[in-house]
Amino acid sequence: MTVETAVLSPAAEKLAERIESSPVAGRARVADLDLPTIEVGPKEWVELARFLRDDPGCQYDLFLDLCGVDNLRRRGPAPASRFEAVIHLHSLSRNEHARVRVVLPDHPSETPSLPSVESIWPAADWFEREAYDLYGFDFPGHPNLHRILCHDAFVGHALRKDYAPGQRWFYAEEDLRVPEWAKETDERAGHFETQTISIGPSHPATHGIIHLIARLDGEKIVRAETIIGYLHRCFEKMAEKHHWNQVIPYTDRLNYVSAMNNGVGYVRTVEKMLGIEVPDRGRLVRTILSEFSRIMDHCVCIGANLVDIGALTNFVYLYQNRENIYDLIEACCGARLTVSYVRVGGLAIDVPDDFVPRSRRLLETIPEFLDDVEKLVNNNRIVRNRLSGTGIVSREQAIAWGLTGPMLRASGVAYDVRRARPYDFYDKFDWDIPIARDGDNFSRYLVRMEEMRQSLKIIRQALDVFPAKGPVNSDDWHVVLPPKDAVYHDMESLIYHFKLVMEGIRVPAGERYEWVEGGNGELGYYAVSDGRGGPYRLKVRPPCFPAMAAFEKMVVGGTISDAVATLGTLNVIAGELDR
C-alpha cells in the first residue's frame, strides 16, 4: 500500500516508543510516511485515541480531520482491506502533526464500523457524520449520526468508488430531517411556552446558505442545531475524476473569498508528492498574492459582520480594498475572484512588469481604509455592546472543538501554521501572530484587523526581496507545460505538452498531508495517488467546518441577535464548509 522506509525519522521513532508503552502496544504499527502514521484496527481505536490525547509524550489535543478512503479501484499492491478511516491530529504543545489509519476489516454483510471518538475530541462529531454520509461508515457511540452534506432523500454513499458521479436523487421539501427535539413542545419554562424557529437557509444573516433550527425561551436560545450541506457540490468526487492540474479551478471555489490560498495549498501538496521545487520568484508571487487574499478574506468577514449588526458604512470602506486588490490579481491572471493562477510546479503565467509598483501602491491605500474602519468601530458604543462578551469561546473549548485560525488565536492560543509548520518563506520574514484572550466576538474582530496589518508587513518584506527577473516555474517538463514557443518548434517539447494535456502529471503512488494558513484557519489537503494522472482521493480539511460545528454550542444561552453577530465572526464560507 505505501512504501515504508527502513529507518524511522526521529518523530516517528519517538512516537513508536510511546506506543510501545501504551495499552495498545503490539497491536498498533508506526510507519514513517510524510507524517508519523499509526495503523490500528477499529477495536483498538478508542484506547489509542485516549492515549494519544492524554499521554504527556503525545498530547495530540487538536483534532484536525477524519476522512474515509475506499480502496476498491486502487492500483498497485493489494491493500489490506477496502475501507480505511484516516485521522489527522496535531499537538499544540509539541508542535507535531500525526496521522492515524484505522483499517476497517472487510465483512461482506456488515457495514464498515469504527467506534466514535466524539467523547474524546468533540471536534470529531461532524467529521464522523461526514464519513457516515459519504462512505457509509458506522460510528457506534455517536450521539447524532445522520447525513450531513447530502440531502436526506439521498440513497447510497457518494464517495464510494462504485457510486456513479452523476447519479442524483429527487429531493422535496418535506424530506428535510428536522431534529426530534424540535418537533416536541417544551412547556417547562414557566408560564412561557418555548418556540422553535428556523433561520435560513436563505436569510440575510446566514451569509450563503446555512440553516439554524433554534428553540427559544423568550428571546434566549436554549437549544440549537445547524443544518449544512446546501452547497455540497461534490468537490472531492469531482477531483477524483480529473487530472491533477484540472483540480485547480475546483479548489478556487472552496473558499472563494480568498481563492489564491486554496490553490497554493493544493499545488504544494502535489509538488511535495512529486518532490519538485518551485523557483523563489514563483514562491514569492504565491506568498504575496496569498497575503493579499487573506486581507480580502478578512475584509469581507469583518465588513459583512458589521453589516449584520447595522454598521453599513464599514462594508463600503472594506470592500473598496477588495476592488483594489482585484485590479492587481486581474492584471496577473485575468480573473477577479476565481483566479486559477497557480499550477503544479509554478504559476500559469508570469506576473506583469508593473507587479511590484502596483503592489506597493496597494500597501499605501489599504491601511487608510483600515484606519477609517477602526475609527468608526473600535470605540463605537453599539458595536462594543453587540460584540464584546458575546459568542465567548474559552481556550479549552477552542482546542476541544478543533478551531484553528483567527478563532483559535482570539481565544489565546498562538497557533498559526505559517509559524508552527512554516512553508515558503514565512520563517524568513519578520511578523507577529496577533492573539486576544477574551475569546469573544470583539476579540475576533481585533485579531483579524491586526492580521491584515501583519499581512501587509509580510508583503512589504517579500516585495523588498522580489527578484526583477527570473523563472516562476520549475523547468521539469514532466510536470510543467513547456513554453508555447518551444512546443511549436521543438518535437520533444510537443510530446511533453501532449502527454501532460492528455494524461496528466504522473504523481508517484503514496499519500501526503500538506497545509497552508487559509483565511479562516489551517487549510489542509490530504491527497492519495495510485500513480495515475489524477488524484485517487483528495480530502480537504476545511477550517470553517469545525467552527460551524461549534456554532450550535456557542449560541446556547445567548439571544438571537447575539447568534447573528457570532455567525459573522466565524467566517464561514459555504463553498469550503460543504465542498
322 binds another protein (CB under 8 A): yes
Cβ-based neighbours of 105, under 8 Å, separated by 6 or more: 41, 42, 81
- Of the candidate spans 65-73, 249-257, 444-452, 472-480, the one that interacts with another protein by CB under 8 A turns out to be 249-257
> How many whole angstroms separate alpha carbon 123 and alpha carbon 542?
13
C-alpha cell at 132: 457516515
Chain positions 474 to 533 lying near another protein, rule: CB under 8 A, are: none
At which residue does the C-alpha cell 453599513 appear?
312
Q: Which stretch binds another protein (CB under 8 A): 156-164, 363-371, 374-382, 422-430?
A: 156-164
Residue span binding another protein (CB under 8 A) among the ranges 204-212, 417-425, 457-465, 497-505: 204-212
CA distances to 179, 190, 221 from 193, in Å: 19, 7, 13
Q: How far is CA 116 from CA 22, 129, 144, 152, 159, in A?
A: 20, 10, 11, 22, 20
How far is the C-alpha of 229 from the C-alpha of 240, rounded, in Å? 20
Binds another protein by CB under 8 A, chosen from 58, 158, 276, 528: 158
Q: Which x/- pattern over 16-35 shows residues binding another protein (rule: CB under 8 A)?
A: --------------------
* Pick 6 or 155: Cβ nearer another protein: 155
Distance CA 462, CA 457 (A): 9
Phi, psi for residue 418 in degrees, rounded to 5: -65, -30
Check residue 202 for interaction with another protein (CB under 8 A): yes
**Three-class DSSP category at 513:** strand
Contacts of 530 (CB under 8 A, 6+ apart): 74, 75, 76, 509, 536
Among 7, 164, 468, 502, binds another protein (CB under 8 A): 164
User: Based on CB atoms, which residue is closest to another protein, 132 or 426?
Assistant: 132
CA-CA distance, 83 to 342, in Å (whole number)?
Answer: 33
- 302 in contact with another protein (CB under 8 A): no
- Per CB under 8 A, which region of 229-237, 272-280, 375-383, 524-532 contacts another protein? 229-237
Q: Which of 297, 290, 295, 244 is nearest to 264 (CA)?
A: 290
Looking at beta carbons only, is 277 or 330 nearer to another protein?
330
The one segment of 120-128, 135-143, 228-236, 551-559 that binds another protein by CB under 8 A: 228-236
CB 278 within 8 A of CB 473: yes
- Closer residue to another protein (CB): 150 or 528: 150
DSSP H helical segments within 414-543, as ranges? 417-420, 441-464, 484-489, 491-503
Of 277 and 323, nearer to another protein (C-beta) is: 323
Cis peptide before 542 (omega within 30 of 0): no
Stretch that binds another protein, among 72-80, 101-109, 167-175, 417-425 (CB under 8 A): 167-175
Choosing from 5, 144, 167, 378, the residue that interacts with another protein (CB under 8 A) is: 167
Residues 125-154 binding another protein (CB under 8 A) are: 149-151, 154
Write the interaction track for another protein spanning residues 324-363; mark x where CB under 8 A is met and - where it is not. --x---------xxx-------------------------
Is residue 312 within the footprint of another protein (CB under 8 A)?
no
Taking the complex as a whole, the smallest distance from the CB of residue 198 to another protein amounts, in Å, to 11
What is the rounded end-to-end Cα distance, in angstroms, of the chain?
28
Nearest approach in angstroms of CB 336 to another protein is 7
- 10 Å CB burial of residue 212 (0-12, 13-18, 19+) is buried
Single out the residue of 64, 123, 257, 481 in contact with another protein (rule: CB under 8 A): 257
Question: In the complex with another protein, which residue's Cβ is closer, 232 or 243?
Answer: 232
The one segment of 10-18, 36-44, 251-259, 493-501 that binds another protein by CB under 8 A:
251-259
- For residues 58 and 318, which CB has a smaller minimum distance to another protein in the complex? 318
Q: Is residue 300 a contact residue for another protein (CB under 8 A)?
A: yes
CA dist., res. 349 & res. 334, Å (int): 10
Q: Do 146 and 178 touch, CB atoms closer than 8 A? A: no
Binding status of residue 169 toward another protein by CB under 8 A = yes
Q: Is 229 in the site for another protein (CB under 8 A)?
A: yes
Q: Report helix angle 355-377 to 312-333, nearest 10.
A: 170
Q: Which of 249, 279, 367, 412 binds another protein (CB under 8 A)?
A: 249
Residue with cell 517579500: 462
Which one of residues 439, 510, 524, 575 is an interface residue with another protein (CB under 8 A)?
575
Other beta carbons within 10 Å of 47: 16
- How far apart are the C-alpha atoms of 573 and 296, rounded to whole Å? 13
Q: Which residues contact another protein (rule: CB under 8 A)?
A: 149-151, 154, 158, 163-173, 201-204, 208-209, 229-234, 237-238, 249-250, 253, 256-257, 300, 315-316, 319-320, 322-323, 326, 336-338, 574-575
